[in-house]
């Protein structure tokens, strides 16, 4: 009888803990994929102004006044804490004073115009796609911090 209980406990533990472990592993992989996706988005949409390394020295930066922000210094200029919400809002609206003036595109609107007529998967809205792109960009910019 004791053997049966031990077997049941082991079976229950495997059925409970294994999915949790796999979910945690998948989350780590998804995070790495999200950052890689964010890097691609950054290179396509941000690097012309902010530079490939995010230092504000892209090929277009000399034509923009005030100059694009050095994205590598966001944490340093915020008492060592990455300003996740401010970065997200800046990408979404392009309206934060820390980002200069209104010359920055409103990426949230541009991403939405690209996503709108498309249905990738039932139950996945254009807003979901846009939020995922902005999230990937926000997390990628976090990796640039010095």
Can you give the CATH number for the domain in which 137 is found?
A: 1.10.760
pLDDT at 29: 42
pLDDT at 110: 66
Helices (H), 2-106: 2-45, 47-50, 84-93
Asked, for residue 19, whether it belongs to a domain, the answer is no
Cis peptide before 103 (omega within 30 of 0): no
pLDDT at 23: 42
Containing domain of residue 131, as a range? 30-143
Evaluate if residue 120 carries a pLDDT over 80: no
Q: Biggest alpha carbon distance in the chain?
A: 80
Q: How confident is the model at residue 20 (pLDDT cuts 50, 70, 90)?
A: very low
Asked, for residue 106, whether it belongs to a domain, the answer is yes
Check: CB of residue 68 under 8 Å from CB of residue 100: yes
Q: Which long-range contacts (CB under 8 A, 24 or more apart) does 72-77 make?
A: 72/144, 72/145, 72/146, 73/145, 73/146, 74/141, 74/145, 75/145, 75/146, 76/145, 76/146
Q: How confident is the model at residue 128 (pLDDT cuts 50, 70, 90)?
A: confident
In the chain, the number of structural domains is 1
Asked, for residue 18, whether it belongs to a domain, the answer is no
Helices (H), 46-125: 47-50, 84-93, 107-115
Evaluate if residue 109 carries a pLDDT over 60: yes
Q: Which residue has the tokens 């998967």?
A: 121
Evaluate if residue 5 carries a pLDDT over 70: no
Asked, for residue 11, whether it belongs to a domain, the answer is no
Asked, for residue 16, whether it belongs to a domain, the answer is no
- What's the rounded Cα separation, in Å, for the pair 88 and 94? 10
Residue 6, SS3 per DSSP? helix
Evaluate if residue 58 carries a pLDDT over 60: yes
């Amino acid at each position: 009888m004791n053997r049966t209980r031990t077997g049941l406990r082991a079976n229950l533990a495997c059925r409970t803990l294994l999915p949790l472990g796999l979910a945690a592993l998948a989350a780590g992989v998804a995070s790495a994929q999200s950052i890689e996706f964010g890097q691609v988005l950054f290179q396509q949409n941000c690097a012309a102004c902010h530079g490939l390394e995010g230092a504000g020295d892209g090929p277009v930066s000399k034509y923009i006044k005030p100059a694009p922000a050095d994205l590598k210094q966001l944490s340093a200029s915020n008492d060592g804490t990455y300003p996740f919400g401010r970065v997200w809002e800046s990408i979404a609206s392009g309206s934060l004073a820390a980002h200069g003036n209104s010359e920055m595109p409103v990426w949230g609107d541009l991403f939405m115009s690209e996503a709108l007529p498309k249905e990738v998967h039932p139950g996945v809205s254009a807003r979901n796609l846009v939020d995922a792109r902005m999230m990937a960009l926000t997390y990628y910019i976090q990796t640039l911090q010095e």
